[in-house]
Structure 1
Amino acid sequence: MVPHLITALTGPINELEQRILDSTPAIERWFRLEWMEHTPPFYSSVDIRNAGFKLAPVDTNLFPGGWAHLTPDMLPLAVQSAMAAIEKICPEAKNLLVVPENTRDTFYLANLAQLKRIFYMAGLNVRFGSIDPELHEPASVSLPDGDSVLIEPVVRTRRRLGLKNFDPCTILLNNDLSSGVPGILEDIHEQYLLPPLHAGWSVRRKSNHFQSYEEIAKRFGKLLGIDPWLITPMFNKCGAVNFAEGTGMDCLTTNVDALLAKIRKKYKEYGIGEKPFVVVKADNGTSGLAISTVRDAKELEALTGKGSGQMSAVKGGQAPVRDVIVQEGVLTNERIGDAVAEPVVYTIDRYVVGGFYRVHAERGTDENLNAPGADYVPLAFAESTRLPQPGAKPGASAPNRFYMYGVIGRLAMLAASYELEATDPEAEVYD
């Protein structure tokens, strides 16, 4: 399924698709050389927006929780990629401990069941160990499809983390650590912890990620001979903002005005008639919370004081939003039926393994779709993302569209690799 683009401005995106297709050998070689120097995140998901005149990532998650939304057709490629990832890290591994979020939401638990399926077929015994201090006994939760998930309390010894009678070589975090890094996960020296603790949202910042992405997009744009803006969301950031008290808003107003001016200039350059907007959101991940669309700096007043609830909503246990990223708003002009849609690309190791369209019938083209009421339409990238069809007309071919999404997803994945290297607390620093 290829959602239709409801915009007359398909020219630039078709030109971008054609340039990417024509440059496929150079692109694949470029990625191959990058992965010789940098380690990809173990897994990731990338939210992408297709405006018809630009295509850009707007968020990259290093603890993806939507595996159940992917089609079964993607399993062979996911299993193969999981094998490649494990072989690089711990070739002799036989046990994998997955540390999940502290929730009994059945949609999330179905995601765990899919992860278990992938890594079981990759040759690992997989069990789920909760770091929830309230869990003292194993708990089995039934899923709507008849499957079930067994969550067990973790057992910590001096150097290792495991379960009763289960000693894993590798620990896979599917918990984004928004509430901070619990002591039980620290000082583990004899096991592989993936992703690393500094990938969690208690440390990670979106502004660092998009700074890395911006640098990579400039080099990639030079390779293809394109304006990197066509694949990059511009951004600014502000710290020390308090929406409840209305402090720090001068910085926010200044940056919103400045970014809107830059977007207007780009729109004028490309003859785009849309009204520019920015997205103000927490600089650390909040699972679709604390996100606001702003078309004029005057609208910021509605986010302060009693009206600050929208920007104060955070994931359980997190401190209120203080650090803010102001990101160029990228329209999504894709539709499934009458509902707005955006592609989400899933990766394991350096490979795109699948994805889905996030669809929301009650949201507009300039709004966040990661919200209650969203539906998910799976995409099978297995045959399409690595096999573009060069002879097909731009905009008409599913493999070509998905290949283009896969390229953007891999650029974001590479940016995450750069980002994690730069923020690694154990990395050696040279004067």
Structure 2
Amino acid sequence: MNYDDIFDNLMYFKPYINKSSIQNHLQLMSKYPDFHQVYFKNRQENDNLDTVKNVCMTLTSGLKEEKISENDLDELLFLSIEDKLFNSFLYNLENTNINFRDINSLYKVLESWGTPQENKILNGLASNPTFEKFVISGFRINGTDSIRLLLFDKELVELKEKNKDTEFAVYATLIEFDFRRNLLHIRLRDVDNIQNKSVDVRTMEGRVERTLRFISNLTPSIGYKKISYFRDSLFLLEEHVLQPKRDVAYSKLMDFQDHIDNFSALIDSNFPTQHENNVTTSNYVANTVLAIIASSLDLSQLGDVVGIKFRNQRTEDTNSFAEVAISDKAFKCISTDKLYWSNLSTLLEQRKIEFLKIGTSLDLGFVDVNLELKLGTANVKLNQSSKGNPIEGNKQPSDEKYIDFIDYLLPFIKKND
């Protein structure tokens, strides 16, 4: 491939190319130390030069000057794509006959799946599709822990953002067979700006179903199962985070408990009501009092649960329910809000959560994550542009942060297995 073709092909990766992330990855790889100088020189020569175009020019120049190799460029692209695919659908792995503890066996599996002999992403633009109009453009083996497959749509997608010209770009899907965590990850970008008549291309549901069909066609096969109990898992996570905060308020409630119990007994004698999951009338009254108590306490903490949505199922009909939604736009924990305490008894009675927003600091930095049951399974979305205001740490998501959060979430998923 000549240098003009390399530049043209790099431009199709515009949705995944960001100057700061490219520069950071190059630094971590200890490659192309004068990237910024070459980039800056291009800018001086043309002040109107588009940022992504300049990055692609600078990388192509690096290849010409042998400051980076084609293998370096491939690794850089793989890392850059990983750092943009944060809308993830999770499944449990099961019924696999692959010997994932043997590296040689894993390479034979990849060969059977039709992975390219030359593991270079740019070559994928000219490769033939394997199944469901997908091209396996690259792969990574992480020891015996996991296999990652990078898929492209055979056809470039047409993107149209408001007040911008139509552009053609690569649409990438990352599949990870995560043997260590016993999970299948399907990681994608949003599809809001895609212009296409096919639901398999322009909708998230179509893309996920198409990817699952691709996986089901692989030989040797890998089995998977939806994490259909994810609403229960979200309740366990919410309780893990917020119960310690509730305990602070509960300690202040003890002086009033006898009065609450007497009052609740009077209510029950006049208005007998059936509650679920050992929730009592006393719990409802106590939580109303707790809402007042909590408003006087300093329970504020950056991060934790900053948004929640749950239902009060009225009948066995799943379409008959009332819904409670709480979202703190200042990224304060919802335990600071009376709405949470006023509706806590309903949450404890239902023990399922439709949507949870977590904004917290983990070992690798701050993460802003939306969690919900979507398309029948666990959906984990790290938000690209967080409005949180952490005191320390980078808000931008990364592949490392994604894995860090999955490890944080995993115990609550596995408790429901």
TM norm. shorter chain > 0.5: no
TM-score, length basis structure 1: 0.28
Higher relative contact order (CA 8 A, sep 6+): 1
TM-score, length basis structure 2: 0.29
> Of the two, which has the highest radius of gyration?
2
Higher helix content, 1 or 2: 2
